[in-house]
Amino acid sequence: MKVFVVEQQCTFLDADDNDQKAWHLCAWNEDSLVAYTRLFAPGTIYTEAAIGRVVNAAEVRGTGIGKALMERSVLTVYQLFGRTPIRIGAQLYLKKFYESVGFIQDSDIYLEDKIQHIKMILL
């Protein structure tokens, strides 16, 4: 909520019907949740497996936890669902970050919650 609703001013229902369909990967620093992703089986959100709601708390940005979280998310998707393509809906300004993990852009820019996004895939 701190990141999506407060920082990015995206007013949406955080807990949605997809929460119950997802595996939740969390990174904690003692009692504080500092990073998080949702992982989806192929056919749940997209034809491919998916990683979504990628978020890092402000206090851990720049520490490498974001890349570690995405790498762990990819490995966990493979462990859960086999070696399968993974799709994400990425905020455009994070394109280079996701490319560093191996994702490639495969859509035009679109708006979601007034923020530019692109679809990306890891084959």
Q: What pLDDT, on the 0 to 100 scale, is given for residue 109? A: 98
* Predicted structure pTM score: 0.86
H or E segment to which residue 118 belongs: strand 115-122
- Over residues 12-33, the mean pLDDT reads 83
CA distances from 102 to 20, 75, 86, 89, 122 (A): 28, 13, 10, 14, 6
Q: What pLDDT, on the 0 to 100 scale, is given for residue 12? A: 52
Please write the tens of the pLDDT for every residue from 38-54. 999 999 999 999 999 99
pLDDT greater than 70 at residue 120:
yes
- Over residues 79-105, the mean pLDDT reads 97
Q: What pLDDT, on the 0 to 100 scale, is given for residue 69? A: 95
Cα 2 from Cα 10, distance rounded (Å): 10
